[in-house]
A and B are shown apart, each in its own frame.
Chain A
């Protein structure tokens, strides 16, 4: 792909991102309930103090002016103060982000590591028992409500068998000084294999729950595209040349069959973001998703606003990345 096309695609993102910001701004502006009243709560304040607070928040200005202030500040990473934490929203979000990213990456890893082999096997042994089981499994995977599946896992592995912890990110005894804030990496950097295993035992259930729908989808995509590739002339030709089947399948077919899988994986990584809220709530995972849900109930709107915007921007960027990845991997496709 040429540089010019890349820049053009990047420029196409601008109106989308602008539109997304408008919607987020409108959401917050149309909210019933006055943020100043929420901040005041039960405290007694004079009308002058109230007016001052309104001025500080810029609420005395007309709506269109407030929008430009919001965009201007957002671009600089300034989302105002979290009512609840009395700290800048951006700091609170940054603090919770590593936990969410770590969980999402492990979920992605689990999904890829199960979906690809299963999809390939199902395609190679088409209509076998394994293929049917995989089909049923993938249907179950997209039909299971994540919050319920998570609770079932907790009941089985934490309550009944007692081999995994119910919630949290790491046990008290294993807490370590953070370096990267990714606990699976930090525990190893600090030379604490025991703490690593502890962190691993905490992340395994939430990651499986989060990755389940993605596993189901990726498996189906891999199976379909593998079947398609196996019908192609070049694969038949390689087989006709007398190359061993294993080599044909894994060296020739799989490489091309994985193209759709990779780009769907990039798109689905975006939907992991939505699943985060549910999974983090179920497993008491101290990430951004749970923070947003909690913030809604304490009407901490600046934080909700910033987080929704953050999620949307990440989602748009991931979809963009999926497009680019697809073109790079598949030179026949022109953007």
Chain B
């Protein structure tokens, strides 16, 4: 039913389904709340210079390993305490959100775009295009994700652009497989056949007829992947292969705190809480999105 509706009335009917899905998403309190948490993180990241109480790179040796505000020896203006160089942990977490969210969004965006193009081509054109793309996908799937990224980072050296590249090289495979699968089914539907009979070009059919109708599952998968990518980036920067100091990144902050777990538990703990909160919120929100958009969950 969903398919025929989406197929028959071009824009209008599609909008209604989209709106109905969004409404069903909004009814899921937990998912909505999680989406709000994600939005708050994005907001903090964008407006970091306005929100952060201190300069994240400003060192102050008198505040070395200063405890959080509520503990003896702490100051309320340094709410989550300070690290080994006396830098404000809260401010560094707020700035760190920029790195995590920017890398997460950039990787997923680029990977999804590449995946859509490759998946559409493989699924619609079939033949040797499909064979080549599917072989590359198989080979890339042969590497455990983190090891592939670590290997690439070891070769390319650290840096923001290199992390994005290292993760995109493997990440595009996931949306590609989803798009290919959906395209294989959709290309046989009557409305696509009709478009073909009317003499529409392959490009038109792929981008204008098929793509709009397979976009929902792709968006859902992409949001779920964002959580994975954020953890991967944090893992790379924990290992010292991520964004280089003094830029604040959550994984590196957790790693820095390892040397002080005996005297200063807060240095490692709070950045980790930030990762957990953001990743959990994305996971719950994207699950809500999936439940709302996937007709199989509608009963």
User: When A and B form their complex, what is the total count of cross-chain residue pairs whose Cβ atoms lie within 8 Å?
Assistant: 132
Nearest Cβ in chain A — how far from B199, in angstroms?
Answer: 38
Kindly state whether residue B203 has any CB partner on chain A within 8 Å. Answer: no
Given A151-B268, A277-B147; A315-B154 close (CB under 8 Å)? no
Choice from A142, A152, A293, A308 contacting B269 with Cβ under 8 Å: A152
User: Does A296 make an interface contact (CB < 8 A)?
Assistant: yes
* Cα separation A140 to B239 with both chains bound (whole Å): 22
Stretch of B72-80, B111-119, B135-143 lying at the A interface: B135-143
The answer to whether B26 has its CB under 8 Å from any CB of chain A is no
Flag if B238 contacts A278 (CB, 8 Å). Answer: yes
Q: Is A139 an interface residue (CB 8 A)?
A: yes
A72 at the interface (CB under 8 A from B): no
Q: What does the 1/0 interface line of A73-105 toward B look like (CB < 8 Å)?
A: 000000000000000000000000000000000
Contact of B155 with A30 in the complex, beta carbons under 8 Å: yes
Query: How many Å from the CB of A295 to the closest CB on chain B?
Result: 8
- Is B6 in contact with chain A by the CB < 8 A criterion? no
What are the residues of chain B within 8 A of A15 when measuring CB–CB?
Answer: 135, 138-139
Contact pick for A24, options B151, B157, B269, B275, CB 8 Å: B151
Q: Is A117 on the interface with B (CB-CB < 8 A)?
A: no
The answer to whether B272 and A145 touch across the interface, beta carbons within 8 angstroms, is yes
B101-109, B172-180, B185-193, B279-287: which lies at the interface: B279-287
A28 at interface by CB-CB < 8 Å: yes
Q: Nearest chain-A residue to B151 (Cβ)?
A: A308
Interface residues in B, total, Cβ within 8 A = 47
| Distance in Å: Cβ of A297 to nearest Cβ of chain B | 7
A 301-335 to B, binary, CB cutoff 8 A, 1 in contact else 0: 10010001001100110010000000000000000
CB pair B147 A312 closer than 8 Å = yes
B-side contacts of A308, CB under 8 Å = 143, 147-148, 150-151
A319 to B152, CA, bound (A): 22
B284→A315 contact, CB < 8 A: no
User: A155 to chain B: which residues have CB within 8 Å?
Assistant: 261, 265, 268-269
Are B147 and A311 within 8 A (Cβ)? yes
Q: Which of A40-48, A203-211, A227-235, A268-276 contacts B (4 or more CB under 8 A)?
A: A268-276
Binary B-proximity of A132-162 (CB < 8 A = 1, otherwise 0): 0000000110111111110110110001000
Q: Is B231 at the interface (CB under 8 A from chain A)?
A: yes
| Stretch touching chain A among B46-54, B81-89, B204-212, B250-258 | B250-258
Assess the B268–A312 pair: CB atoms within 8 A: no
Tell yes or no: A16 within 8 A of B by CB. Answer: yes
> Which residue of chain B lies nearest to A147 when distances are taken between CB atoms in the complex?
B238
B198 cross-chain contacts in A, Cβ below 8 A: none
Cα distance A148–B251 in the bound complex, in angstroms: 8
Please, how many angstroms separate the alpha-carbon atoms of A146 and B139 in the complex? Answer: 26
Chain A residue with minimal CB distance to B281?
Answer: A143
Contact A19 B142 (CB under 8 A): yes
A71 to B: closest C-beta gap in Å: 15
| Given contact pairs A145-B275, A147-B255, A278 touches B144 in the complex (Cβ within 8 A) | no
Give the one of A148, A271, A274 with max B CB within 10 A: A148
Contacts of A149 in B (CB 8 A): 272
Pairwise interchain contact A315-B144, C-beta atoms closer than 8 A? yes
Other-chain contact of B139, A23, A273, A278, A304 (Cβ < 8 Å): A23
Tell me if A222 is interfacial: C-beta within 8 Å of chain B: no
A17 interfacial by beta-carbon distance below 8 Å: yes
Q: Which residues of B contact A16 (CB under 8 A)?
A: 138-139, 142
Which B residues are closer than 8 A to A by beta carbons? 135-136, 138-148, 150-157, 227, 231, 234-235, 238-241, 251, 254-255, 257-258, 261-262, 265, 268-269, 271-272, 275-276, 279-280, 283-284
